């Protein structure tokens, strides 16, 4: 899990991390999942990180279900940076469990 440095509280639950891991597996990898979550896009054969000026609209579209409780801590125009924190947490957890 990732700690919020300001409050020292965990912001991702084990359930959220497990669900994200399941989404990763179903999508076929991190880049494929980021395409689904519209955090990246492919333009002329290149991968480009997307930005959103209206973060509330992004939160309404993609921070739903198990992720809905994360809306208050989501404060970036760059969804890729947010989802990367999930990916890092999963990778750290995998190393710790070995």
**Three-state secondary-structure class, residue 54:** coil
What is the distance between the alpha carbons of residues 98 and 34, in angstroms, rounded to a whole number? 27
Give the per-residue pLDDT at 61: 96
Buried b (16+ CB within 10 A) or exposed e, 39-62: bbeeeeeeeeebebeebeebbeeb
pLDDT digits (tens, 9 = 90+) for 40-91: 999 999 999 999 999 999 999 999 999 999 999 999 999 999 999 999 988 8
């Amino acid at each position: 899990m990732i700690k919020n440095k300001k409050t020292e509280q965990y912001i991702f639950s084990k359930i959220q991390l497990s669900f994200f891991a399941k989404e990763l597996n179903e999508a076929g990898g991190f880049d494929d999942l980021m395409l689904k979550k519209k955090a990246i896009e492919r333009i002329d054969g290149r991968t480009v990180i997307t930005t959103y000026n209206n973060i509330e609209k992004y939160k309404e579209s993609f921070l739903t279900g198990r992720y809905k409780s994360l809306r208050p801590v989501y404060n970036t125009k760059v969804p890729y940076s947010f989802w990367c924190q999930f990916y890092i947490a999963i990778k750290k957890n995998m190393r710790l469990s070995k």
